[in-house]
Amino acid sequence: MRIGVMVEGMKLLLVEDDPSMQATLRRTLQNRGMDVELCGDGRQALERWRNAPPDVVLLDLTLPGMDGLRVLEEARRGGLGTPVLILTARGTVGDRIIGLNTGADDYLPKPFDLDELEARLRALHRRRAPAGPAAEDGIGGLHWDRESGAIHWRGEILELAPREAALLQALLARPGHAVPKERLFELVFPGATEVQYEAIEVVVYRLRKKLAPTGAKLVTLRGLGYLLKAGE
């Protein structure tokens, strides 16, 4: 059973060189309300992106003409801020970090679930609209005062342990955007060489409990990291 609602009015640039994958994704995403433009060559995709910027780019990494990471790097260097979801068979942590550091907004390894792909594309489309100044520091009723370091919910300071605060600050700095688990570990446990990597999950668990009354959701994205979104 399909989950979610149709995405109306989204102009999607699908950059994928496999004909079978092209056909499947185009048919599926068009049926879900997206206007899909196809491109199977890296250089051509970059040119189309420059000439007619879409709402979202769905970008494969292994492409003829120009590798997907190079396409993304050139686009960002040229000031193209379109949200990008990388879609690739390269599923290692190193590849994900390289993609995100190059300027990708999200990352989904193959094979993937079509409902999850749609949900991620919808999230990127919603974030494309310019936000007001306060959106940089908060989401929903949560607000991070960068000067004092305090995090407020509806005017009241949240009581957080230092590591919980560090985690929440990192997520509030990019509300609605996935933050890699590796990056969060560096921020929450700076210089801690003897701490187990899984310790970040303990902090996430504790923070989720403290966020429950606010309605904010700390979402785990498989193989990618965590993101913070406002409650329904």
We find that the CATH architecture of domain 133-229 is Orthogonal Bundle (1.10)
User: Where are the domain boundaries for CATH 1.10.10.10 in the chain?
Assistant: 133-229
The one-letter amino acid at 201: E
Q: For 65-136, where are the alpha helices, taking DSSP H only? A: 68-77, 93-102, 114-127
Q: What's the fold here for domain 10-127?
A: Rossmann fold (3.40.50)
Question: How far is the CA of 120 from the CAs of 54, 63, 84, 179, in angstroms?
Answer: 16, 22, 10, 14
pTM: 0.54
Distance of CA 68 to the CA centre of its chain: 17
Question: Which residues have C-beta within 8 Å of that of residue 201, sequence separation ≥ 6?
Answer: none
pLDDT tens sequence across 15-73: 999 999 999 999 999 998 899 999 999 999 999 998 888 999 999 988 998 988 899 88
- Quick one: DSSP state of residue 158? P
Run of H or E residues at 187: helix 181-188
**Are 148 and 83 spatial neighbours (Cβ–Cβ below 8 Å)?**
no
**Are 87 and 16 spatial neighbours (Cβ–Cβ below 8 Å)?**
yes
d(C-alpha 9, C-alpha 60), whole Å: 22
Q: How confident is the model at residue 223 (pLDDT cuts 50, 70, 90)?
A: confident
The two three-digit tokens of residue 54, written as one number: 């879409």
Rounded to an integer, the average pLDDT of 146-152 is 74
Q: Phi first, then psi: what are they for 84, rounded to 5°?
A: -125, 130
Residue whose entry in the numeric block shows the structure tokens 């995403």: 29
- Quick one: DSSP state of residue 159? -
End-to-end CA distance of the chain: 22
pLDDT tens sequence across 110-145: 888 888 888 888 878 876 544 333 333 567 678 877
Enumerate helices (H) and strands (E) in the chain, giving the number of each: 8, 12
User: Where are the domain boundaries for CATH 3.40.50.2300 in the chain?
Assistant: 10-127
